[in-house]
Structure 1
Amino acid sequence: MQISPEQLPHRLGLGSMVSGLDRIRSLLGVEAAQLKTPAGLGAIPYLRSGNDFVLAGAASSVENRAWTSRAPLVLADTAAHETLAGEQPRFADGRPIRFLAILPLALGDHSSVHLLTLADSLPRSIGMANRLATFALESFYPTRQESADALSAMRPQPNAALMDSATAAAGMGVWQCHLAGDALRWSAGVYDLFGLERGAPLRRDRIVAQYADASRAAMEEARACAIETGTEFRLDAEIFRADGQQRWMRLTAGVQLVNGYALRLFGTKQDITEERRLIDHMRHLAETDAMTGLANRARLQARLDFPEGISALLLVDLDGFKAVNDTYG
C-alpha cells in the first residue's frame, strides 16, 4: 500500500507533522530536519524539511543504535566523533554534516519509535547542541504535556530518579523557566529547598514572593540582564520557605537562545544556609574582641576604609587606665 506524504501524518496520528518540521528547522537555524518512520509503513521512508541527506555506513549503524535503544544521540561535531570522523555523513550535494542529532520519539501509545533527525554543515558547541535537541522535542509536540511525555520516554527513568534523589539529598536541584508564560519546572531538590510539596503546581509570582526584598530585587535585575544579553549569572539569595524558615540558596542560571532570542532560563538552586552561617561566624570572630564582644581594630580599620553613611572617630583619653588594663585585661 502506497502512502502519500499528506496521508502519513494522519496514519501515524501526528497531526501537522510536515509543517512542524519546517517550524523546527526555521527556529533552530539548521539546514535539515527529517522524520524517519518505522519499517512497514509504506514506501515513504521519511518526511523531511530542508536539504536532503541519507545516513549510510557508520552513520547508519549509529542511527540504528539510537533507534533500538531509544536513547538520543547528539553530536556537536561529527568530525570529532571516533566512529564518524573517518566516514562523515554528507548531504545529497556532497557537503559534510557536522552537527547531527538523532532523537527517538515514542508517539501515540509509545509502542513504535520514530526518529527526528537534525543536521547542519556547521558544528555546534556541546551545550548548544544539547539545548537545540531539547528544544526541538519540545517544539515538536503540540501541547506541553505531550512534550513532557516525549522527553520522559527518552530518558532512562531509573537513572533519572536516582540523580533526582541524589541531588535532593545534597540540598540542591535543577530548574527551568520557559519565558513564554513563565512556566516553571523543578526537580525534587528545589521543591524541598522552598518547603513545597514535590510535584505541586508552580506559579512564578508566588515563588518570587518567597525571596527576601533585597534578594528579590537583585534576582530580577540579574534575570532581566540575562534575558536581554544572553549571559549566565550566579547569585546568593535569601528566601523564606513556605513554613517561614529563612534559608540561603545559590542560584545559577543559563540562557537558551534560539535565533538570538531567549527561549528559557535553566540552572541549579543549592541550599547554602550552613555555609552562610559558617562564613558569618568566622567574620564575627575575625572582627570582634572575644572578651568584650566589641568591634576590634580590624573592624575599625574596615569601617575607616569603607565608611557607611555619616561616620566619625572619637578618641577618649582616660587617666590611669593603663594600670587597670594591665591588671584586669
Structure 2
Amino acid sequence: MAVCDGNIRYAERLADYANERGKIPFRAVAFSSAERLREYAAKHSVEILLAGETVPAEELEGIQARQIIYLGEEKRADAARLPSVYKYQNSDRLLREVMACYDGEDWGESVPIAGRGRLIGIYSPVGRCGKTAFALTLAQVWKETEKTLLVSLEDCSGFGEMAGESYGECLSDLLYRYCHGGGCWEKLGAFVYSWGNVDYIPPARYPEDLEGISAMEMAGFLEDMAAESGYGVIVVDLGQMGRQAAEILEACDAVYMPVLEDWVSQAKVREFEAYLAGSGRDGVAERLEKLKLPSGNRPSAGENYPEQLLWGELGDFTRRLVRGGREREEE
C-alpha cells in the first residue's frame, strides 16, 4: 500500500501505524511526491494507493496501482474523487474504512499471506471462571511476539460497552461473507478493532447469527482464518457453545480450560471430559490444559481494562503459561 500526501510527516506516520498494527495484508510505504511513487510503482506491485487530496490528479496519471483511495480533507467527500476516506480521523477507523473500500474480491482463489497461524481455543463448562479476562490477557501476551487476533464466540460479550465502541461490521458480517463465497481475508482489516493492546473482531451482532452456523462450518472458518489471514496467533473464546465446542476445539493447536475448585464446577468439568472420551475426541483431551486462574483483585472498569489485566497478577500468570508452552515445544 502506497501513501502519497503533500504532508510527508502525515504519510510516514500513517504508513508506520499501518505496518505496526498489522491491520492490512500489505506493507505500507510513504511517498513525498508522485514522481517518487511513479519510480517505485514501475518496479513494485501497488495494491492500494492512498492519495492526498492536495496531490494533483494529473500527477497520478499512469501510476500502476490496483485501486486509488483518496484521503479527503473534509468529512464530506469530493464527488470527483471517490472512493474517499476522511484523512483527519482515528487511524484505526481510517484503515478499517480503507479495507472496506478495497475492491479485492476478484482475486479468485485466496493465497495464504504468511503461512498458517496458531489457533488457541479457550473454553470452560464452568461459569464465572475468568475466561473472558484470560482471553483478553492471552491475546495481549502473545501479541508481544506475534501478530495476534482475538475472536469471541460469546452470545453477549459486552465488548461494545466495555471498549466504548459502536461497531459497523462485525463477526456476523464476516461469517456471512465466508458462507456465501465472498472475499474475506484480504479485507479482514475492515473488521478488526483495537481495545488497548488487543486487536479483535467485534462479536456477533445477535446470538442467532452463531446458531445459524454449524460447529463444523465454524471450525472450517477458523482454520481458514488461521491459514490465510496473516495472523501468527488467533485466540478464540468459545463462549457458551456447550458440547458443540468439542468440534471447534479439534481444530485448535492448544486448548485452555479455566476451572474452579468447588464441587459443582468440578462435576461439570468431569462431565465434559467424559463427553470428549465418549465421542472419540481424544486429541482434544490430550491438548486440553486446565487452569486455575489467579483469584486476586480484578482490575477496575474502564478503557484501560486490558492494560490493567496485562500488568496485573493475571498477566504474570499468563506470561509464565505461554513461556512454558514455548519451552515444551522446543524440547
Q: TM-score, normalised by structure 1?
A: 0.26
Q: Which has the higher contact order (CA 8 A, sep 6+)?
A: 2
Q: TM-score, normalised by structure 2?
A: 0.26
- Say which structure is richer in strand: 1
Larger radius of gyration: 1
